[in-house]
Amino acid sequence: MLIKLTDHPKAKPADETKLTFGDLFTDHMLIMEYTEGEGWHDERIVPYGPIELDPAAMILHYGQEVFEGMKAYRAVDGRILLFRPEENFKRLNLSNERLCIPLIDVDKCVEMTKKLVEIEKDWIPSAPDTSLYLRPFIFAVDPHLGVRAGHHYYFMIIASPVGPYYPEGLDPVKIYVETKYVRAVKGGMGFTKTGGNYASSLKAQYEAYEKNYSQVLWLDGVERKYIEEVGTMNVFFKIDGEIITPTLETGSILGGITRKSAIEMLKSWGMPVSERRISIDEVAEAFDNGKLEEVFGTGTAAVISPVGELNWGDKKIMKINNGEIGEISQKLYDSLTAIQWGKAEDTFGWTVEVCK
């Protein structure tokens, strides 16, 4: 792989405790190209900066784009760790397949990611709860206005040092159960990580902000009854001792790696976890019976996000666990982050060491 290092390294953040999410980028980026007939080629790490696109580049017109989100962590003993990176690139291929984008080689992408992270290792912050967020993405660049899949693609990885998702700590969030808009339907792109899913969610997100809710909880697009997921997170409920998360079988929910890891961890503790359909009525009924014990979201950015309040379409407000973080949410957060920052032994074999 060609590596061209920058002559003008940027100043690193002066105060790591003030890092926000996704505003600051490192000195280098990775690019690889795909050309029809040739496959993926010309992988290179180059100084971070703008790229040139033809105004007719297909991504700008028909949105053929997929992405991933993962983190590199500076462990307490100084090692640099990735968390299940092969899962991200396997999922990228699921998205690729759905959007008619050529598949990538998972192992090669993990190796390229490690190389970029190693080059940028001084950008990985060491303050508590900070990390280097990595954003791999692919998009069609050929100039063409007829509707078809692209023939020429860019695969890129950019990196951004980030602070804790919730600077105030693990305070439970207020979530609005969306009844007007839908995110995805069976047969659509709900299971993929693609920009279009986010473009279509902004309207609901802003209407929720206006009501003082931080995110929306999506219901299924047909009956507006079954729970799907929260804006950027999968969702779990603890009802009368049972931990429930919506099944991925509908194809309208993103299969989160944090979701998968939380399920595996809960099962390793001997806790019952059900992946099944769960309706908002079931949640409301459990609430009325005093059996809705915990609600939390899972995702790479926040890891575990306790939910303190659900508002179901302005008809019903459910306060969960007195608006405080639940026992399981806290334990999952502590245990997952302990593995990610190398504070506990990784008995699951989830971390990949980049360098020391």
Ligand X SMILES: *Cc1c(COP(=O)(O)O)cnc(C)c1O
DSSP 176: E
Q: Are 338 and 350 in contact (CB under 8 A)?
A: no
The residue nearest ligand X at its CB is: 256
CA dihedral 205, 252, 244, 329 (to 10 degrees): -40
**Pattern 282-301, ligand X, x by CB under 6 A:** ----------------xxx-
**Residue 258 binds ligand X, judged by CB under 6 A:** yes
Q: Identify the CA nearest to 64 among candidates 144, 126, 132.
A: 144
Q: Identify the CA nearest to 141 among candidates 131, 132, 149, 152.
A: 152
**Pattern 50-69, ligand X, x by CB under 6 A:** -------------------x
CA 117 from chain center: how many Å? 18
Helix, coil or strand: residue 30: strand
**Residue 259 binds ligand X, judged by CB under 6 A:** yes
DSSP 13: P
Touching ligand X, residues 94-133 (CB under 6 A): none
Q: Identify the CA nearest to 200 among candidates 251, 149, 252, 238.
A: 252
**Residue 172 binds ligand X, judged by CB under 6 A:** no
Q: Which one of residues 102, 164, 246, 256 is an interface residue with ligand X (CB under 6 A)?
A: 256
Q: Which one of residues 45, 233, 263, 328 is an interface residue with ligand X (CB under 6 A)?
A: 233
For 213, other C-beta atoms within 10 Å of its C-beta total: 20
Q: Which stretch binds ligand X (CB under 6 A): 45-53, 112-120, 165-173, 249-257?
A: 249-257
Q: Which one of residues 32, 257, 273, 295 is an interface residue with ligand X (CB under 6 A)?
A: 257
Q: Which one of residues 234, 305, 321, 335 is an interface residue with ligand X (CB under 6 A)?
A: 234
Helices 257-268 and 85-98, interaxial angle, to 10°? Answer: 130
Binding-site residue total for ligand X (CB under 6 A)? 14
Q: Which stretch binds ligand X (CB under 6 A): 27-35, 231-239, 281-289, 332-340?
A: 231-239
Q: How far apart are CA 46 and CA 26, in angstroms?
A: 11
**Residue 182 binds ligand X, judged by CB under 6 A:** no
Q: Minimum distance from CB of 129 to ligand X (Å)?
A: 16
Residue with tokens 């999410």: 21
Helix, coil or strand: residue 195: helix
Q: Which one of residues 254, 280, 304, 320 is an interface residue with ligand X (CB under 6 A)?
A: 254
Residue 258 or 351 with smaller CB distance to ligand X: 258
Contacts to ligand X by CB under 6 A: 69, 193, 229, 232-234, 254, 256-259, 298-300
